[in-house]
Structure formats: structure tokens, C-alpha cells
Amino acid sequence: MGGGAVVQQEPTPLTRHLRVHEHRGHTVLEFRGEIDIAAAVEITPALDRVTDRPGARIVIDLRAVEFFDCSGLRLLYRARGRVLERGGRLHLVCTHPLTLRVFRVTGLSRLLPPQPSLDAAVEQPEAASSRPGVEGRRRGGVV
């Protein structure tokens, strides 16, 4: 083979609903297909392993998702809680209009603002993945 071409290999899926790879110093959890209760059962062990690391920098990418129900929302809330408890950062990539609407209706978009691409997600400031209202509770304020 000549020319010094670099071939990028597709990441090996951990499950049929999850691929994990690195992007600019962040671990990317790429959810795929239909994210329902059966998919959540498959994804949870890998999600827990990745989110167990102190100071983890994680992006959850939902662009390859075809269906997303409340089981998927639970996965996102679980990941967010685990990452923040360990001093890490979590960002979300999503472009599907119906899924974005669910995030707005449930309030998740305020806690985990969706970005249109991996690059946009990793460029977000740390405050984008912090817990809103924590400072208010520490000072005795109403949240």
C-alpha cells in the first residue's frame, strides 16, 4: 500500500445499540437503533463502566437513534448523575426533532443541552454539564 493513507476503522460495538470510541479527549457513547427497555438493559452495564471513572469527559451521541422512549431518558439521567457525582463532564449530541421535543418537554434540555455535532459538544464550556441550582442550595437559596 502506498501513499500513506490512513484508514479509520469503525469502532467495535459493545452491543447492537452501543458503540464506544474516543473523540478529542472525550469518550463517546454512540447509541444506535431503537432505545427502549430491551436496549437499556444491554446498554446499562457499559454505561456504568464508562461513567464510573473520576473526572470522565463523556459525550452521548444520539444521531443514530431511530426510536427513543422513557428508558432512554432514564439512561441519560443515570449517566448525568454518575458523571457529575465523580466530577466529570457530560455532553449530548442529538439532531432528531421529535427527540429534541421530548428533551424540551421533560426539561432534560436545560440540564443537558443537546448539540448538533461531536465537535460542538466537546467545545461546550464546563458549565454546560454542571448541575444547575447546586450553588443556590449550598447558599440556602430556593432552586
Domains of the chain: 13-132 (3.30.750.24)
Cα 109 to Cα 64, 80, 102, 113, distances in angstroms: 19, 12, 9, 5
C-alpha cell at 82: 454518575
**pLDDT, tens digit (0-9, with 9 covering 90-100), for 6-52:** 444 455 556 899 999 999 999 999 999 999 999 999 999 999 999 99
List the end-to-end C-alpha distance of the chain, in Å, as a whole number: 61
20 in Cβ contact with 59 (< 8 Å): no
Instruction: Tell me the whole-structure pTM to 2 decimals.
Output: 0.80
